[in-house]
Structure 1
Amino acid sequence: MSSSINSEMLSYQNLQVNYTDIEHAYRKLQGVAYSTPVFTSATVNKLTQCQVYFKCENFQRAGAFKFRGAYNALAQLSHQESQQGVITFSSGNHAQACALAGQLLSVQTTILMPEDAPAVKQAATCGYGGNVIFYDRHTVNREELGREIAHEKGLKLIPPYNHPHIVAGQGTAAMELIQEVGPLDRLYVPCGGGGLLSGSAIAAKALSPNCRVVGVEPEKADDATRSFQTQTLQTVENPDTVADGARTPCLGTVTFPLVLHYVDAMQTVSEESILKWMLFIWERLKVVVEPTGALAAAAVLEQGAIQPHQRVGVILSGGNVDLAALSTLFATR
């Protein structure tokens, strides 16, 4: 499926986030978000013939990069909005991030989560104090439900990616990476709704102008790749991918223009590749990442040498693994 998008939306003048916004978000996050470590691996460098830097957002608060955007968005609420509370929808990582940010900022959070969201993410969201409402993702449109409840209860809707403050917060991950390791030739970023990808691309182009930014999706959830190739917003309905963080239906009105303007390429990886390289990262880097968190690494490791001796950044976006579910999955393969 596809939907048309006004060509005016794609113009530079209508881009809703710039590097100044990311710098502002970075200041908001100082002393709150973790400056996550950057790992390297001699084995990976040998396999790829490149110098690869892994930005380990699996060590971020709530276990994923999502905390950056959620906290930045909630920290900029008006007093009245903070008092009334917020609502969001998420399969897990943004849910946890919003719940934790709300706990830290004394903002009540209502979270719409699919019934089949990973149990570990459900438990963490509740543990951070989120008021969780479950829904059937096969029969319910989460965006419509979120808008309905927000209107009924007077809550501020904070979507998981289609929001300028979310994008700006996510961009601080790539900002930190490049500030630490220096200019990159390539940066690989997982893509669901495009918040992390667009924010990272903005930061990369500001700090390392010659860096080629590549977004990575599962083959089964390739809406952003098709959107990028056609320059027309494409959608996907409940894709059956192990990378649950990439099950978003489409890029957003905020993220789509940013992706088209700042991102250089999109590519996809198979389910087999996601699981293969996720386990490789566990075993060789001794780092636990979830399937979505391994998307960008899978793209780099699967294709081998991009161009020898390049400096390559890879964002490991999260580490909230449902071990019981993965054990069952591996047993059936």
Structure 2
Amino acid sequence: MTTTVPSLDRLRQAYAETSRATQLTPLLESAALARETGAARVFVKAESLQWAGSFKARGAYWRLKQLTPDEAQRGVVAYSSGNFAQGLAAAGQALGIPVTIVMPIDAPAAKREATKGYGARVVLTDHGERAREEVAAAKAREISETEGLALLHPFDDPEIVAGQAGAGLEALDQLAAKGVAADVVLCPVGGGGLIGGVALAFHYLSPSTQVFAVEPQGFNGMGSSLAHGAIETMPLGPKSICDGLMARKPGEAPYAAVTTTNVRGLTVEDAAVRGAMKVAFERLKLVLEPSGASSLAALLGGKVDVAGKTVLVVATGGNVSLADFMVHVNNA
């Protein structure tokens, strides 16, 4: 199967459109993190402060803009464990497009309620011992067929990749304004929509930058696929606290984008993620959900040699309840 890889012009077109509806999230520099890791400079792209609490609003808005007038009137359906749900619901609310979200029953309650708060209809699925994304995806397809709604994929779509690339283009502009270029980028990965876009942005505009795909232990589908040269599905195993990164394999569109660039995979453990959440709060004054803190966990855990290098950490989301946040940081 041949999958379209968005061009630089397409990335820029998407960013020009979505930047009118999203926030320019801050690029935070931390001298403390640089000293602790031996890096020359460390920057954190705080996508946790984006509308709906994560980068997902970028790709969701751009994808909705590609609907035909008839599709937009009837509405869309998608499955998501939370952040794409909120991003799509918020984008749908802004554009007046009805949104139905299928969510696993064990998705965080805070994300479920926030999705409803943006006006979306939420349908829950109970996956039992099966992979939760497979059950939720099947339900979304059923709703699409029976109700005539456009079926959107949370990450396996070239237009989602193009939309998410805005986080990378924006970071590149912000780094350039400071007169620096990133040697290393650490980016969390679930299905791969974000890293597909970010990797392409840096591939086109900063090809010497090394981008790393950061995944939870046991859910390193992108890293394993890159290592073996074909998409691989990870076996069912223990859950991770990084609920937004528990895809068992990368999407074809993100994988196609990533394989045109120079991305390497690495994994982080839950304990390291808890520690990173605490550091983000104490040092950066950022509240990050586990998935959003995974890239910082990789930096702090020494997963990459960053001595003397300029590092960009993509902090992808902050959608976590106070109760869950406290449990994680208190166990760090």
CA distance, structure 1, for counterparts of residue 30 and residue 329 of structure 2: 26
Asked if 1:170 corresponds to 2:164, the answer is yes
Instruction: Report the CA distance shift for 1:239/1:170 in structure 2 as closer, same or farther (over 3 A).
Output: farther
Work out the CA distance in 2 between the residues paired with 1:322 and 1:252: 28
Aligned residue in 2 for 1:3: none
In structure 2, the CA distance between the partners of 1:306 and 1:79, relative to structure 1 (3 Å rule), is: same
Q: CA deviation at 1:325?
A: 3.0
Deviation per CA, 1:290-315: give whole Å up to 9, x if none. Answer: 11001111111110772422111110
Q: Partner of 1:324 in structure 2? A: 323
Q: Does 1:127 align with 2:117?
A: yes
Match of 1:233, SS state, is: coil
Matches within 5 A, 1:17-36: 17-36=6-25
Correspondence for 1:310: 309
Q: Is the 8 A contact 2:218 2:237 kept in 1?
A: no
Would the aligned equivalents of 1:242 and 1:291 in 2 still touch at CA under 8 Å? yes
Counterpart residue identity of residue 324, structure 1? A
RMSD: 1.7
Provide the secondary structure at the position in 2 that maps to 1:294.
helix
Q: What does residue 277 of structure 2 align with?
A: 278
Equivalent residue number for residue 248 of structure 1? 247
Give the corresponding residue for 1:86: 76
CA distance in structure 2 between the aligned counterparts of 1:271 and 1:284, rounded to whole angstroms: 20
Do the aligned residues in 1 keep the contact of 2:100 with 2:121 (CA within 8 Å)?
yes
Query: Is the 1:221–1:239 Cα contact (8 Å) retained in structure 2?
Result: no
Q: Partner letter of residue 310 of structure 1?
A: K
Amino acid at match of 1:124: A
Matched with 1:59 is 49
User: 3-state DSSP class of the match of 2:252?
Assistant: coil
SS at match of 1:215: strand
Cα separation, partners in 2 of 1:96 and 1:303, compared to 1, 3 Å: same
Q: CA deviation at 1:158?
A: 1.2
Secondary structure of the corresponding residue to residue 134 of structure 1: strand
The CA distance in 2 between the partners of 1:113 and 1:272, in whole Å, is 26
Structure 1 residues 181 and 332 mapped into 2: Cα distance closer, same or farther (>3 Å)? closer
The letter for the 2-side match of 1:311 is T
- Quick one: distance in 2 between partners of 1:100 and 1:54? 24
Aligned length: 322
Please say if residues 220 and 270 of structure 1, whose CA atoms lie closer than 8 Å, have aligned partners that are also in contact: no
2:107 counterpart of 1:117: yes
Give the whole-Å Cα distance in 1 for the aligned partners of 2:237 and 2:73.
34
When residues 173 and 330 of structure 1 are mapped into structure 2, their CA distance, relative to the original with a 3 A threshold, is closer
Deviations 1:171-207 (A, max 9, x none): 1101111111132111111000000001000001112
Could you give the per-residue CA deviations for residues 206-259 of structure 1, whole angstroms, max 9, x where no partner exists?
121111111100112112211111112222337500001101121112111222
The answer (yes or no) to whether the contact 1:54–1:316 under 8 Å persists in 2 is yes
> Is structure 2 residue 47 aligned with structure 1 residue 49?
no
Q: Give the 3-state SS of the residue equivalent to 1:102 in structure 2.
A: helix
% same residue: 36
CA contact (8 A) 1:69 1:166 kept: yes
> Deviation digits for residues 140-174 of structure 1, max 9, x if unmatched?
62222211211111111111101111111111101
Structure 1 unmatched ranges of 5 or more: 1-5
> How far 1:331 sits from its partner (Å)?
6.6
- Other-structure match for 2:300: 301
Q: Separation in 2 of the partners of 1:262 and 1:209?
A: 8
